[in-house]
Amino acid sequence: GANDASTSPLGMYYRECVDFALWRVNQQMGSTSEPFKFLNGTFRPDGARLGSALTWKDGWDAKGWPTGSVPRVGAVVWYAAGAPGADPFYGHVAVVKEVKEDGTFVEEGYNGNPAPDDHNYYTRTINNSAPTAFLYLPSQEEKK
């Protein structure tokens, strides 16, 4: 039931995980207001809309940006569809807020909790093995 009136300036639906994660990517890359540097089709060579979290890793790979299995502050946390903590059809993205000494990390995002608290900001501590991949920004250095 979403319409154009419910899309953010980034071209994502408000209060969804992808809108928040893309906003954080822009913020970290120095683009904090319109016109934003990265929009919903930026990571796809065909310009297709990102839509859900499903295509984020493929889009990241197509752009040549690094990915890996180690959390880094500011990295996008990518969950494939059905992975622990992800929607079974659309996957999930969040952002690493803090890396803890015990190997866990704190992620932040939207739409990561069950209804009725689903479209709100959240933070949660996650085991490093839960996400499918971490998507690093091109200029991101490892932070310990």
pLDDT, averaged in runs of 10, over the chain (144 residues): 64 85 92 86 64 83 90 94 85 95 93 81 88 86 38
Residue 140: the pLDDT is 55
pLDDT at 143: 35
Whose CA is closest to 56, among 74, 20, 80? Answer: 80
Q: What's the pLDDT score for residue 124?
A: 93
Bridge partners, 51 (sequence order): none
According to the model, what pLDDT value does residue 46 have? 64
- Can you give the pLDDT at residue 144? 31
Predicted pLDDT at 122:
93
Backbone angles phi and psi of 9, in degrees to 5: -60, -15
